[in-house]
Structure 1
Amino acid sequence: MPTTGDLGFVLIPGAGLGTWLWDPVVPHLEGPGLPVPIPGRGVSTAERRALTLGAAADEIAGAARTWEPERLVLVGHSLGGVLVPEVARRLSDRVAGLAFVGALVPGEDERGFDLQTPFQQMFIRLLGLVRPRGAKPPASALRKELCNDLDEATTASVVEHFEPVPEAPRLYRDRVTWAGVPDVPRRYVQLLRDQSVPPERQARMAAAIEAEMVTLDTGHLPMLSRPADLAAILNEVAGD
């Protein structure tokens, strides 16, 4: 494995989730971790609506460019997977591997929206009509989709810290291109008890991008339920 400082991990959380999600994982990585928030928070409604997928990727790539490690593994969780190929295109000379954790991963010219469940699509459409600033899903929905394998204290923390979604509608609706994405190892971590992104859909997405698929017997947030096991999988990505 590369020595610490040579390889770093850029960690992108899913919708509504903050950089705190990765805190339990970072100590187990064989290199420094850079958790980055999904862009679109803390800005006006007009700015959120105007934020493109490309502009969001520019923001994340900009943060990574000023970071010390020479080689980067890009890790996307849930909606964060939509951003990974776009960020990889912008950092092609430094990217050593791509990893997806229970992630939405569009193929060429696909959208993240197309990979969501019908209920999730309906929720996003409804928010666009009645809550243009976004909204926090009901606690019952968060518990069911995100926390089905977490203890009560961890579940309560997730519900408390979950932020209004969508951060920016175009993160779901802009089409992704893989043109210019470097030819580096790709690994998809399929979550067998995921209630947010169905495991069978995860398998199809992994196959579509020709990623190696490994499994964890967890719900949607293995960073909180099995952080050391997840880190071990991520540590192997650039060494494939």
Structure 2
Amino acid sequence: MAVTYVLVHGAWHSGQCWARVVPRLGASGSGVFAPTLTGYGETRHLLSPDVGLGTHIADVVGLLVGEDLTDVVLVGHSYAGMVISGVANEVPERIARLVYLDAMVPTDGESALDVLPIMRDMIGSDWRVPPPPAPFGLFGLTDDADIAWLNTMVSDQSALCLREPVAMDAPALAAIPRTHVHCTVTPPGVELRPVPAVQPNGDPADVRELATGHDCMITMPAELAGMLLDIGSQASARASAPAGAGR
């Protein structure tokens, strides 16, 4: 069974941030989609106070349904951990595996501010939230060319994205396998939640690491692509296995 990768960017970014990863995944023969969520990048003119987490969940659900995608390895970077959680709650039958890429991992009813309270300091009186300042800015990039490239795509986001809770109450959601990829070079004060030893579906936790900063798709695209291909092969093998055989 061939899997399809859907790569969902995090806050302030756009789908362009995956440009170094997409061709590496596509070379395997897999389908790859890297949409830009409403209000970012080339759609920044659509940003408004009403653009929130629900908007972005609808963006990705619309892609999956519109393209009739199934057996999807759904990858969410950073804030997009919230997005992919909501997407899987709405269309669990289309998802082969969730990949939380240095991402927020919520529980039912939580917002991004619940998952990462330090982000409360980034919200002022305006509905717009600009990209964060140092030490959180530049998202772990140190190369001048990488920084210049990233600066061509980052833009503001709506505070509603961070305040809106996610629903994760569909019974089928718990059956979807998960992989967590952690970037080990982190700014002070930023900590991801510990990953429970057992996944909601009863499998042992699958936690992997990349020795780089937060925007690993820019700094380590080959290594990330190789990791995603391995995750995809596992998802394919699992889906192809006879019922009850390691599923």
TM-score (normalised: structure 2): 0.79
Name which of 171, 191, 207 aligns with 2:196. Answer: 207
2: CA distance between counterparts of 1:190 and 1:136? 21
Q: Alpha carbons of 1:168 and 1:209: their partners in 2 closer, same or farther (altered >3 Å)?
A: farther
Name which of 158, 162, 172 aligns with 2:150. Answer: 158
Q: Alpha carbons of 1:44 and 1:224: their partners in 2 closer, same or farther (altered >3 Å)?
A: closer
CA contact (8 A) 1:108 1:176 kept: yes
Q: Are 2:176 and 1:184 aligned?
A: yes
Shift of 1:237: 2.7
Shift of 1:107: 1.7
Q: Deviations over 1:190-219 (max 9, x none)?
A: 110022883xx3251x32883411111010
Shift of 1:44: 5.9
Shift of 1:137: 4.0
2: CA distance between counterparts of 1:53 and 1:168? 9
Q: Alpha carbons of 1:23 and 1:15: their partners in 2 closer, same or farther (altered >3 Å)?
A: same
Partner of 2:94: 94
Shift of 1:69: 4.4
Partner of 1:142: 137
Q: Alpha carbons of 1:196 and 1:228: their partners in 2 closer, same or farther (altered >3 Å)?
A: farther
- Unaligned runs of 5+ residues in structure 2 are 200-204, 236-247
Q: Deviations over 1:112-169 (max 9, x none)?
A: 1122253x32112x1xx1x3344344577523xx134x421112221343111xx232
CA contact (8 A) 2:140 2:212 kept: no
Partner of 1:227: 221
| SS of aligned partner of 1:50 | coil
CA contact (8 A) 1:102 1:197 kept: no
Q: Are 2:185 and 1:193 aligned?
A: yes
CA contact (8 A) 2:70 2:93 kept: no
1: CA distance between counterparts of 2:78 and 2:210? 15
Percent of matched pairs sharing the same residue: 25
Shift of 1:43: 4.9
- Unaligned runs of 5+ residues in structure 1 are none
Partner of 1:175: 165
Partner of 1:132: 127
